[in-house]
Amino acid sequence: MCQYSSDDGFANDWHLVHLGSRATGGAGMVIAEATAVVPEGRISPQDLGIWKDEHVDFLTRVAEFITSQNSVPAIQLAHAGRKASTRRPWDGGGTASLEQGGWLPVYGPTALAFTESALTPEEMSCEAIARITQAFADAASRALKAGFKVVELHGAHGYLLHAFLSPLSNRRQDEYGGSYENRTRFVKEVTIAVRNVWPDELPLLIRLSATDWVEGGWDIEQTVRLSLELQALGVDLVDCSSGGSKAGAVIPVGRGYQVSFAEAVHNAGVLSGAVGLITEPDQADEIIRSGKADIVLLARELLRDPYWPSRAAKALNAQHTLPKQYERAWL
User: Hey, which residues are catalytic here?
Assistant: 159
H helical segments located in the chain: 13-24, 56-68, 126-146, 160-165, 180-183, 185-197, 220-232, 259-267, 281-289, 300-304, 308-315
Exposed/middle/buried for residue 145 (C-beta within 10 Å: 0-12, 13-18, 19+)? middle
Cα torsion 190, 192, 193, 195: sign: positive
Distance CA 112, CA 280 (A): 40
Determine the length of the chain: 331
Distance CA 245, CA 185 (A): 18
Distance CA 203, CA 220 (A): 23
Residues in CB range of 199: below 8 A, 6 or more apart? 144
